[in-house]
Structure 1
Amino acid sequence: MKILVTGAAGFIGYFVSKSLLDKGHTVIGLDNINDYYDVDLKYDRLKQLGIAPKEAEIFEKEVHSKNHPGFSFVRMALEDREGLPQLFERHAFDKVCNLAAQAGVRYSLENPEAYIDSNLVGFLNILECCRNYKVKHLVYASSSSVYGLNEKIPFETTDSVDHPVSLYAATKKSNELMAHAYSHLYGFKSTGLRFFTVYGPWGRPDMAMFLFTDAIMNNKPLKVFNSGKLERDFTYIDDITEGVVRILETPTNENEPKKDLYKVYNIGNSKSVKLMDFITAIEESLQQTAQKQMLPMQPGDVEKTWANVDDLIQDFDYRPNTPIKLGVQRFIDWYKSYYKELAK
């Protein structure tokens, strides 16, 4: 298939692109490479896919990979109402995997406009292009943050998600509603994936795994919010990637009833881990002790996440299952190797 992967220079987008290429698909990667976090990390991910940083810097120029014949990259924002339709017209995508978004719960308190531009305006442009250029299936990133103040554990996709506690969460819930409307009106399949705290090699520097490892290794205070009384369904990147790719590769049924065109799934490890246990796993792997700085609860945060993935198992015979200790060790191995190379 020919598949558009947006957010291809991002954490999940990089791994999904690589997996699809390894399976023989043609992938066009799109990313605006914004400076929400270190752009060098984004360029280095693209470098793994055969795209040189200097080539990736140029907006709207399609660059072909040097070591993956099936991959090309375009630097473009989802908000580009002229460039995006031209890209869809040029390539006639079979499927679209929309992983591009302005990420981060806490940053949405500081820069709300970025979330409206990318997550709402940009997502509308994706939906319009899918409608106008006959895309068979749109798979897009939602988030566990949509559950907000939901107190029922574990979280199920049938739960009410009407009480978001951050603008980021509100935009992700909006994406699900927008996709539902477009699937109903225009008859194309859409699948939303509520990711639960993804971690692993090449991860984002603003996420817990990266922040904790960096603090411990460099003998800096480690910020522990809500005095450590938090629990997260930490999900390893390989499990997330396998789930996304399995859904993308599932054949679409052109005669599928309208009510079945729209789906939402949780993708999580289906296990809630105490934050302090997660920190302990990092300490044990590094053989160092963290200098913990206990802080109050952050605005927009929630105390506990835990995914029920029964729907994922039933429909795709797939359950994420990487143990925390193994995932943590793999991240730390990558972290040491990556920053050792940068130090040369």
Structure 2
Amino acid sequence: MKYLVTGAAGFIGSATVEKLNLAGHDVVGIDNINDYYDVKLKHARLQRIVHPQFRFIEMDIADRDTVEQLFENEQFDRVIHLAAQAGVRYSIENPYAYSESNLVGHLNILEGCRQSKVKHLVYASSSSVYGLNGKVPFATSDGVDHPVSLYAATKKANELMSHSYSHLYNIPTTGLRFFTVYGSWGRPDMAPFIFTKKILDGETIDINNNGDMWRDFTHVDDIIEGVVRIADVLPERSEDWTVESGSPASSSAPYAVYNIGHGSPINLMDFVKAIENELGIEAKKNFREMQPGDVYQTYADTKDLYQATGYQPKVSVKEGVAEFVSWYKEFYSK
């Protein structure tokens, strides 16, 4: 089968390419290699996933003509769309980057899928869409109309845009709400990376909300297992579904949304302690108030994804932190 993976030089994207290649699929990967974080890390990921059945094209998904030509030339069976401008706090500093990549870019991918009749589009949403929702665990049946960052708002918009294309053009689309992914080759703007680097460098780490925060930390190996499994589960039309009685995560159109996370949140201080234990160094800590755009707790209800795919996360926080710290030390000792 022939896949397009967008964001192929990214953290989750590169791991997804590797997983698909190991399963025998042909993969075309695209990425614009922007400088939101260190491009050397992005190039290193691409070097790691060199494979006879993988081709990489440097491309910006916001470039309508180029994306249109790509779909016309390649005729993909399935698309895993992971490219996006990430980061909650950066969306406060640079909002226009999010409209280009996350809105225009997503529309271009939808149009490509429509024009070339792609059999299934799987795309990245985010746990950030739950915003002010205080009910836990977060379920896809919950309302998500009150985001607390522009990043989250664009991800909710992606779900709405995808539904409209599923409804109008019968394109099967599946959104995945990722919950705090970490692991080797991870993003430098994420807490596990920041904490590890600063602790090793003897710098002070910032602890938001005075440490009273909970995150559903999910190892990348578990995430990509879920991503690849759901790509084989095409949502179908449900003629009996209604807005009044149905879940917002399904539809009369071939549309679905799932949470993908560990399903067992951990206190931020416990996660910091796991890193300290693995490094053998106690962190210097600066406790501060909640930051703009942050949420107090993320906690995924993953029952629907399990029922659809049998997906069940396996990597514990202790194992995951050990794996990440080992990679970090090796990669940055070069």
- The answer to whether the 8 A contact 1:193-1:266 is kept is yes
Structure 1 residue 249: Cα displacement: 3.0
Look up the SS of the partner of 2:64 in the other structure.
coil
CA separation in 2, counterparts of 1:326 and 1:248? Answer: 27
Look up the SS of the partner of 1:340 in the other structure.
coil
- The answer to whether the 8 A contact 2:214-2:265 is kept is yes
- Tell me the residue number matched to 2:328: 335
Q: Which of 91, 94, 97 does residue 77 from structure 2 map onto?
A: 94
- Tell me the residue number matched to 1:46: 46
- Tell me the residue number matched to 2:279: 286
Q: Which of 314, 318, 323 does residue 321 from structure 1 map onto?
A: 314
> In the TM superposition, what whole-angstrom CA distance separates every residue of 1:89-143 from its partner, at most 9, and x where no partner exists?
1110000000000000000000000000000000001001101110000000000
CA separation in 1, counterparts of 2:107 and 2:279? Answer: 44
Look up the SS of the partner of 1:29 in the other structure.
strand
Show the 5 A alignment for 1:249-268.
249-250=232-233, 252=234, 259=252, 261-268=254-261
Change (3 A) 1:83 1:228: same
* Structure 2 residues not aligned, in runs of 5+: 240-250
Which amino acid in the other structure matches residue 194 of structure 2? L
- Tell me the residue number matched to 1:240: 223
TM-score with structure 2 length normalisation? 0.95
CA separation in 2, counterparts of 1:165 and 1:106? Answer: 11
- Tell me the residue number matched to 1:59: none
- The answer to whether the 8 A contact 2:122-2:175 is kept is yes
Change (3 A) 1:321 1:249: same
> In the TM superposition, what whole-angstrom CA distance separates every residue of 1:226-268 from its partner, at most 9, and x where no partner exists?
1111100000000000000111134x48887672510000001
- Tell me the residue number matched to 2:117: 134
Structure 1 residue 321: Cα displacement: 2.6
Q: Which of 107, 113, 118 does residue 90 from structure 2 map onto?
A: 107
Q: Please provide the CA RMSD for this pair.
A: 1.2
CA separation in 1, counterparts of 2:259 and 2:236? Answer: 25
CA separation in 2, counterparts of 1:141 and 1:255? Answer: 21
CA separation in 2, counterparts of 1:254 and 1:172? Answer: 22
Correspondence 1:169 to 2:152: yes
Look up the SS of the partner of 1:297 in the other structure.
coil
Structure 1 residue 340: Cα displacement: 1.1
Which amino acid in the other structure matches residue 305 of structure 2? L
Change (3 A) 1:12 1:221: same
CA separation in 1, counterparts of 2:73 and 2:147? Answer: 38
Change (3 A) 1:91 1:15: same
* Structure 1 residues not aligned, in runs of 5+: 51-67
Look up the SS of the partner of 1:82 in the other structure.
helix
Look up the SS of the partner of 2:134 in the other structure.
coil
- Tell me the residue number matched to 2:243: none
- The answer to whether the 8 A contact 2:163-2:253 is kept is no
Q: Which of 169, 180, 204 does residue 186 from structure 1 map onto?
A: 169
Number of equivalenced pairs: 323
Correspondence 1:214 to 2:197: yes
Look up the SS of the partner of 1:100 in the other structure.
coil
Structure 1 residue 283: Cα displacement: 0.5
TM-score with structure 1 length normalisation? 0.92
Identity fraction in percent: 59
- Tell me the residue number matched to 1:308: 301
- The answer to whether the 8 A contact 2:209-2:287 is kept is yes
Look up the SS of the partner of 2:318 in the other structure.
helix
Look up the SS of the partner of 1:168 in the other structure.
helix
Correspondence 1:5 to 2:5: yes
CA separation in 1, counterparts of 2:72 and 2:277? Answer: 52
Show the 5 A alignment for 1:13-162.
13-50=13-50, 68-162=51-145
Which amino acid in the other structure matches residue 66 of structure 2? G
- The answer to whether the 8 A contact 2:236-2:254 is kept is no
